[in-house]
Amino acid sequence: MATTAKNTDAYPLNRDFLASSRLHLQHQVWTSSLGYLLHPAIPREEHMLIADVGCGTGIASLEIAKQLPAGGKVKAYDLSLEQCPPKGWWPSNVSFEELNIFEPISDHLIGKYDVVFLRHFICVVQSGNPLPLLSALLKLLKPVVVEPASSAPKMEAFMNMGGETIKKQAGWVRDLHTRFSDAGAELVAHDRHWTAKEVMMMKQEVG
């Protein structure tokens, strides 16, 4: 898996000390501005399983894990584990593993998670088309409606269109909330938050 990750790693940012510091400051900007890590609409249940995709340093995984009810666990995935803590420092309910979310999802991960957490992916979706990402993330989620023979014709049609509908690379983030039905999913909540004043300077500095 490590070889695959290296061959396909088009991640445009570094993974050095400065890059990790930047992620930690961005974490502060987000938590101060949102006031939560997991959206309040997400039910907290015992033994819930969370996948943090593209976890970076793992700071969100480590914080989320502290807030989970009994038996809750976080599995933190990233193309590279360079910025993650070493295994000896993992809490008992967090573990880290390499995963390229744009490669076919292994069978054992399909339908496994109650929650998929994703943050700071603007620079990762370079095509500007979020549908392959959304489709992969949905595969990780436990199915809400179980219909073994069901298909997603709209999703497939959209995927076949390629990048025609995408104008700008980052435009997908602004419109992401409008795309869930294309991927056969239902949007539960869409919130927009302003950056909290006390972390505005930090945000300006880290981007």
Ligand X SMILES: C[S@@+](CC[C@H](N)C(=O)[O-])C[C@H]1O[C@@H](n2cnc3c(N)ncnc32)[C@H](O)[C@@H]1O
Given the rule CB under 6 A, which of 36-44, 96-104, 157-165, 178-186 is the region that contacts ligand X?
96-104
Given the rule CB under 6 A, which of 42-50, 100-108, 157-165, 183-191 is the region that contacts ligand X?
100-108
Given the rule CB under 6 A, which of 116-124, 156-164, 169-177, 188-196 is the region that contacts ligand X?
116-124
124 binds ligand X (CB under 6 A): yes
Let me know if 167 is exposed, middle or buried by CB neighbors in 10 A (0-12, 13-18, 19+).
Answer: exposed
What CA–CA distance (Å, rounded) separates 58 from 24?
Answer: 9
Which tokens belong to 50? Answer: 């969370």
Residue 40 C-beta-side C-alpha neighbours within 13 Å? 4
Q: Which of 29, 64, 99, 131 binds ligand X (CB under 6 A)?
A: 99
Q: Which of 31, 32, 33, 80 binds ligand X (CB under 6 A)?
A: 80
Spatial contact of 25 and 202, defined as CB atoms under 8 Å apart: yes
Site residues (CB under 6 A) for ligand X, limited to 15-34: 23, 27
CB closer to ligand X out of 45 and 141: 141
Spatial contact of 134 and 40, defined as CB atoms under 8 Å apart: no
Q: Where are the beta strands (DSSP E) in the chain?
A: 49-53, 73-78, 94-98, 115-118
Site residues (CB under 6 A) for ligand X, limited to 38-77: 53-56, 59-60
Which tokens belong to 27? Answer: 């974490």
Residues lying near ligand X in the complex (CB under 6 A)? 11, 23, 27, 53-56, 59-60, 78-80, 99-102, 119-120, 124
